[in-house]
């Protein structure tokens, strides 16, 4: 079978144990929890013994604990308080500030916002911070010079920043860590070294980290040579080695990543040191297991038995994962060390599942279940102890006590405990006194590498750390997760709705997880769809036909559609308009039911739409799936809104003796003109809104993408929508003009360019008869500001996504980037690396990041813009055109330019070209005013850590959608209603609560109920 889609095929995907793991991850949490409880109960742990041991441990900690700065602050200000979060942000941000001035600005804002006296613990931290707030708040009234104070504060911040970094990080680089590491190992302390870094942005980033990992291996080899009895280890995050460490990229990246990982293993083997593959997000798990299988099968490494792997117990399939690892070692006659952790990406897993509309979470949503799972995993590791050595990595004394009870009751001590550098030293000392070996997990790094690590460490440990800092509340720490779970009365977190029920009163569109190899297998089982010509006009009509060519390869004919004659256009309009009254009188519930059935049909035919969106519209597979979901969301959301607004008349207030009812009716015939860049979701969003509000519709899709619209229309008919209420007419702009000028047209919904919208408005204004409403959604010159406090790596990801996703062919795409000078060099360097690593090619290949431009004319326009910016600015870099890009496709290499002035941009650049302007702090307001004066007002982005800047710019910016610290594209129906102002559209916002109201007439009925006698007023007096 020849699949249209091309993707990475894992040689291990069909293994029984791997399939079972995926099935367990997809189980409903209550069902999985029931299985887990059964497994846990079989452990037969003594809860009193565990708590006696815990009490003994806590007494020791209380006597010997040397409280660190982090522990002192967390005890005074837990993360469930505003002040705790403020301190977390400071701790994460201060080491990354480009200069003292920026750090001071951030620090002052955080201190002013906190209530530092609002604590019942009399600590020096509270006293210091409350006095700092007083000084910063009242300084102007004290009539004291600010310069010396700022200088003192900057010195204080430099010291504080160093303290914060030194709590968690041994040294800023490999060279500076050498002496300290030798000192630790000389004391007999086993170490696991983590070179900070993850999620490489580009190939240079990944290669640099790989080379640094080799340097770490060399250093650890020197330590091993000096201390032969030591067992040093390097922990490696694979995402730091390569930016394409994801399953969809496997076709081009698997061998490259494997080569890098194997080279590290060979080097570690040669030096006699251990290497542990660190845990990351769940969507990377399948890829990591494929790499692990390759390593264990590689003859060059068959004598290397110092390989490790991390298991996260919050995963619903963690027990099964250990079974799989044990079977793998048995099959390959190898051994592994397993570091067992609770998990570091819980919030990411929840957000990702919700965003993708998955049917489940891969993780447990209750901490008690994670605890039960941890102990079940301990038992699994014990069963496989001849093949899998156990390394317990947790700072929770209660969990440690439970693990000790498990092993001591079995007279077994082949187990190692691990702690993070900077935390848990007192617990480590207690464990050593009990005769258990320990290891310290030590990070090395600075700058950008610190961001992800430090934020997670503080969140993971700070969220519960206050409970384990003396003095203790033993009742709170008492270990009995099963009893605590039973007290809850439910086996899932009821405050976290499952993705399908994310919205309270409507369905959420379902989605696909592209990290699941079985999803790709499903795509592969389907041959290239063959769509019969769709009959939208009479079969005996003599019409010309439009051939639809794929923008990915203009030699590929996707299909043909008939073009109507003038007589057929007249017939379609008149026939549809004549059904308007009957359709408006149809009960709302019936219209809603049809639209909901349509949503389900769209999902049922998702593979056909996926094919068409890739072949006809040039969309990459993730973009195509996202558009299918958005179309379904429009159906569900507008159905919900129609019931809310129109299910019954609105009773209005007034004097007694009269009744005032406001009710709504369809206007009649609407012409809906949709664009090629969202040929399914906007096409359906427009017509669904019109149909639900009692209007009939003639829809005209873009001439580049009519097949998608025709298939959607056929499914609308299948869902029960009468052909008399909905017609579709294919063709160019001239046909669109004929449609809107017809006298029966009572409204026009249009999405496209501003220039076309003006032509439509002009045509409508010249028509005889009533004024025809126009809903126009157009483009914009969308800017993003990145200030000096921004989280640079996150900003770079958002910039790349905003500017180049779907080849920049979204009206919301980023068109001009404004970067503060203090960080511009770093931002542009990372941007260049990320851009050069993008894959431009055929959208049917799973690894493609950027597909084709829609047409030759659009391609030529982009070449003209590129030539202009090359002449008036500086080309920083551009992405290479990939191997899968056909010579007959309309491909354009995404480009990054540095330009001197906003004056060079006077129109929307609809494609993957991003001009960048650097600004000083004093220039920002002037630049923004220039941007606003261009008249567009669609989207704007801001990357900052300053709340004051968020408040100021979001309130001032004349744009429809303002995005902070996230991508500027991908507005979600209902959550982020989308639409602009000025030259960017008329409103109301699509996918918002006011959209449907533009499609209706308002009618009021007032009845004088007293005219024929209304005694109701008298009955209000009950005396």
Backbone angles phi, psi at 419, to 5 degrees: -135, 160
What does the pLDDT read at residue 475?
A: 74
Residue 702 has pLDDT above 50, yes or no: yes
Q: Where residue 847 falls among pLDDT bands split at 50, 70, 90?
A: very high
What does the pLDDT read at residue 469?
A: 58
Q: Given 286, 777, 793, 908, which residue is catalytic?
A: 777
What does the pLDDT read at residue 530?
A: 42
Q: Where residue 539 falls among pLDDT bands split at 50, 70, 90?
A: very low
What does the pLDDT read at residue 1021?
A: 65
CA distance 929 to 727: 45
CA distance 1023 to 1016: 15
> pLDDT tens digits for 922-949?
999 999 999 999 999 999 999 999 999 9
Q: What is the CA radius of gyration of the chain?
A: 32
Q: Where residue 538 falls among pLDDT bands split at 50, 70, 90?
A: very low
Q: Specify whether 213 is catalytic.
A: no
Q: Specify whether 630 is catalytic.
A: no
What does the pLDDT read at residue 526?
A: 67
Residue 268 has pLDDT above 90, yes or no: yes
Q: Given 276, 614, 635, 811, which residue is catalytic?
A: 811
What does the pLDDT read at residue 634?
A: 98
Residue 159 has pLDDT above 80, yes or no: no
Residue 660 has pLDDT above 70, yes or no: yes
Decide which of 295 and 108 is more confident: 295
> pLDDT tens digits for 8-42?
998 888 889 999 999 999 999 999 999 999 999 99
Say if residues 855 and 809 touch (Cβ distance below 8 Å): no
Per-residue pLDDT, averaged over 405-412, amounts to 91
Per-residue pLDDT, averaged over 202-213, amounts to 96
Per-residue pLDDT, averaged over 486-497, amounts to 94
Tell me the two tokens of residue 52. Answer: 């006696």
Per-residue pLDDT, averaged over 800-827, amounts to 97
Q: Where residue 180 falls among pLDDT bands split at 50, 70, 90?
A: confident
What does the pLDDT read at residue 544?
A: 84
The strand ranges marked E within 879-1021 are 895-898, 913-919, 936-937, 939-943, 961-964, 981-982, 1000-1008
Per-residue pLDDT, averaged over 469-498, amounts to 87
Decide which of 433 and 336 is more confident: 336
Cβ burial 961-986 (10 Å sphere, 16+ → b, else e): bbbeebbbbbbbbbeebbbbbbbbbb
Q: Token pair 């049922």 is at which residue? A: 604
CA angle 172, 175, 179 (to 5 degrees): 100
CA distance 819 to 834: 17
What does the pLDDT read at residue 140?
A: 56
Full set of structural domains in the chain with CATH? 16-29+176-445 (3.20.20.220), 79-165 (no CATH), 549-778+998-1003 (3.40.605.10), 783-984 (3.40.309.10)
Helix (H) or strand (E) holding 668: none
> pLDDT tens digits for 232-261?
999 999 999 999 999 999 999 999 999 999
What does the pLDDT read at residue 173?
A: 76
> pLDDT tens digits for 889-923?
999 999 999 999 999 999 999 999 999 999 999 99
What does the pLDDT read at residue 2?
A: 62
What does the pLDDT read at residue 470?
A: 58
Determine the longest span between alpha carbons in the chain, in angstroms. 106
What does the pLDDT read at residue 123?
A: 62
CA distance 877 to 863: 15
Q: Where residue 1 falls among pLDDT bands split at 50, 70, 90?
A: very low
What does the pLDDT read at residue 455?
A: 59
Per-residue pLDDT, averaged over 422-448, amounts to 84
Decide which of 136 and 908 is more confident: 908
Q: Could you give the percent of the chain with pLDDT greater than 70?
A: 90
What does the pLDDT read at residue 74?
A: 65
- End-to-end Cα distance, the chain: 84
Q: Where residue 130 falls among pLDDT bands split at 50, 70, 90?
A: confident
Residue 79 has pLDDT above 80, yes or no: no
Say if residues 243 and 2 touch (Cβ distance below 8 Å): no
Q: Where residue 444 falls among pLDDT bands split at 50, 70, 90?
A: confident
What does the pLDDT read at residue 1023?
A: 53
Indicate the average pLDDT of the chain.
90
Burial of 746 (0-12, 13-18, 19+ CB in 10 A): buried
What does the pLDDT read at residue 117?
A: 75
> pLDDT tens digits for 870-894?
999 999 999 999 999 999 999 999 9
> pLDDT tens digits for 614-630?
999 999 999 999 999 99
Decide which of 1015 and 796 is more confident: 796
What does the pLDDT read at residue 533?
A: 40
């Amino acid at each position: 079978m020849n699949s249209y889609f091309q993707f990475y095929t894992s040689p291990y995907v069909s293994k029984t144990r791997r399939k079972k793991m995926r099935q367990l991850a997809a189980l409903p949490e209550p069902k999985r929890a029931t299985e887990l409880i059964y497994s846990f109960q079989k452990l037969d742990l003594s809860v009193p013994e565990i708590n006696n041991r815990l009490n003994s441990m806590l007494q020791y900690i209380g006597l010997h604990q040397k409280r660190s700065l982090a522990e002192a602050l967390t005890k005074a200000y837990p993360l469930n308080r505003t002040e705790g979060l403020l301190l977390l942000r400071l701790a994460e941000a201060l080491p990354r500030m480009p200069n003292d001035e920026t750090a001071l600005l951030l620090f002052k804002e955080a201190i002013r916002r906190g209530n530092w006296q609002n604590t019942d613990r009399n600590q020096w931290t509270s006293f210091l911070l409350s006095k700092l707030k007083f000084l910063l708040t009242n300084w102007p009234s004290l009539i004291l010079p600010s310069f010396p104070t700022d200088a003192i504060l900057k010195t204080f911040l430099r010291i504080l920043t160093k303290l914060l970094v030194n709590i968690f990080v041994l040294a800023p680089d490999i060279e500076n860590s050498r002496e300290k590491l030798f000192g630790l190992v000389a004391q007999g302390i086993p170490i696991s070294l983590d070179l900070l870094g993850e999620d490489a942005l580009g190939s240079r980033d990944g290669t640099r980290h790989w080379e640094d990992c080799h340097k770490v291996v060399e250093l650890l080899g020197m330590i091993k040579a000096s201390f032969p009895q030591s067992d040093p280890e390097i922990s490696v995050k694979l995402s730091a080695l390569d930016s394409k460490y994801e399953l969809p990229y496997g076709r081009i990246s698997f061998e490259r990543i494997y080569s890098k990982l194997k080279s590290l293993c060979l080097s570690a083997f040669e030096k006699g040191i251990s290497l542990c593959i660190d845990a990351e997000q769940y969507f990377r798990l399948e890829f990591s297991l494929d790499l692990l299988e390759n390593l264990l099968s590689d003859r060059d490494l068959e004598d290397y038995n110092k390989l490790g792997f991390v298991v996260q117990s919050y995963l619903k399939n963690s027990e099964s994962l250990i079974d799989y690892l044990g079977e793998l070692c048995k099959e390959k006659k190898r051994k592994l060390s397993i570091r067992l952790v609770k998990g570091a990406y819980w919030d990411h897993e929840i957000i990702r599942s919700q965003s993708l509309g998955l049917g489940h979470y891969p993780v447990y949503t209750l901490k008690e279940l994670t605890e039960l799972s941890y102990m079940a995993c301990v038992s699994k590791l014990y069963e496989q102890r001849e093949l899998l050595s156990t390394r317990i990595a947790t700072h929770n004394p209660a969990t440690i006590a439970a693990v000790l009870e498990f092993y001591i009751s079995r007279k077994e001590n082949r187990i190692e405990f691990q702690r993070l550098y900077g935390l848990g030293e007192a617990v480590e000392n207690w464990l050593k006194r009990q005769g258990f070996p320990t290891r310290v997990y030590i990070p090395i790094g600075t700058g950008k590498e610190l961001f992800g690590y430090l934020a997670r460490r503080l969140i993971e440990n700070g969220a519960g750390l206050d409970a384990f800092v003396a003095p203790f509340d033993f009742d709170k720490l008492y270990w009995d997760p099963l009893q605590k779970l039973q007290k809850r009365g439910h086996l899932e977190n009821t405050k976290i709705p499952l993705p399908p029920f994310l919205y309270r009163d409507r369905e959420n569109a379902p989605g696909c997880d592209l990290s699941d190899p079985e999803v790709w297998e499903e795509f592969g089982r389907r041959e290239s769809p063959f769509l019969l010509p769709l009959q939208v006009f009479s079969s005996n009509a003599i019409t010309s036909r439009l051939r639809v060519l794929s923008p990915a390869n203009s030699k590929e004919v996707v299909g043909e559609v008939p073009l109507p004659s003038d007589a057929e256009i007249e017939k379609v309009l008149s026939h549809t308009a004549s059904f308007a009254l009957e359709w408006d009188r149809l009960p709302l519930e019936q219209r809603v039911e049809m639209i909901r059935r349509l949503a389900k049909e769209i999902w049922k035919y998702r593979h056909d739409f996926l094919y068409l969106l890739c072949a006809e519209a040039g969309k990459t597979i993730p973009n195509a799936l996202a558009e299918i979901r958005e179309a379904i969301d429009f159906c569900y959301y507008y159905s919900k809104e129609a019931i809310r607004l129109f299910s019954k008349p609105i009773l209005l207030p007034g004097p007694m003796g009269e009744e005032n009812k406001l009710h709504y009716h369809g206007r009649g015939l609407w012409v809906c003109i949709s664009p090629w860049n969202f040929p399914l979701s906007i096409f359906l969003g427009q017509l669904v809104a019109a149909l639900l509000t009692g209007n009939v519709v003639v829809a005209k899709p873009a001439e580049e993408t009519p097949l998608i619209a025709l298939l959607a229309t056929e499914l609308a008919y299948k869902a029960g929508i009468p052909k008399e209420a909905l017609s579709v007419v294919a063709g160019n702009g001239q046909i669109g003009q004929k449609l809107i000028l017809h006298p029966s047209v009572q409204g026009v919904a249009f999405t496209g360019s501003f220039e076309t919208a003006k032509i439509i408005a002009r045509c409508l204004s010249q028509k005889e008869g009533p004024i025809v409403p126009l809903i126009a959604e157009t483009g914009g010159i969308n800017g993003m500001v990145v200030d000096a406090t921004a989280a640079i790596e996150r900003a770079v990801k958002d910039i790349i996504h905003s500017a180049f996703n779907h080849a920049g062919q979204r009206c919301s795409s980023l068109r001009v980037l404004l970067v503060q000078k203090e960080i511009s060099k770093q931002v542009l360097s990372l941007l260049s690396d990320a851009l050069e690593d993008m894959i431009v090619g055929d959208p049917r290949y799973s690894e493609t990041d950027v597909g084709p431009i829609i047409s030759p004319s659009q391609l030529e326009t982009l070449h003209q813009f590129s030539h202009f910016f090359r002449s008036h600015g500086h080309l920083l870099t551009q992405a290479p055109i990939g191997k899968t890009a056909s010579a007959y496709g309309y491909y354009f290499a995404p480009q990054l330019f540095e330009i001197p002035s906003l004056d060079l941009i006077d129109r929307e650049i609809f494609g993957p070209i991003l001009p960048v302007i650097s600004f000083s702090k004093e220039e920002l307001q002037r630049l923004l005013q220039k941007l606003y004066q261009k008249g567009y007002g669609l989207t704007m982005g801001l990357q900052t850590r300053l709340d004051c800047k968020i408040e100021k710019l979001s309130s001032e910016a004349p744009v429809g959608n303002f995005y902070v610290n996230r991508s500027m594209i991908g507005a979600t129906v209902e959550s982020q209603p989308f639409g602009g102002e000025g030259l960017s559209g008329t409103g109301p916002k699509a996918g918002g609560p006011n959209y449907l109201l533009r499609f209706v007439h308002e009618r009021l009925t007032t009845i004088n109920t007293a005219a024929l006698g209304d005694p109701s007023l008298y009955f209000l007096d009950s005396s």
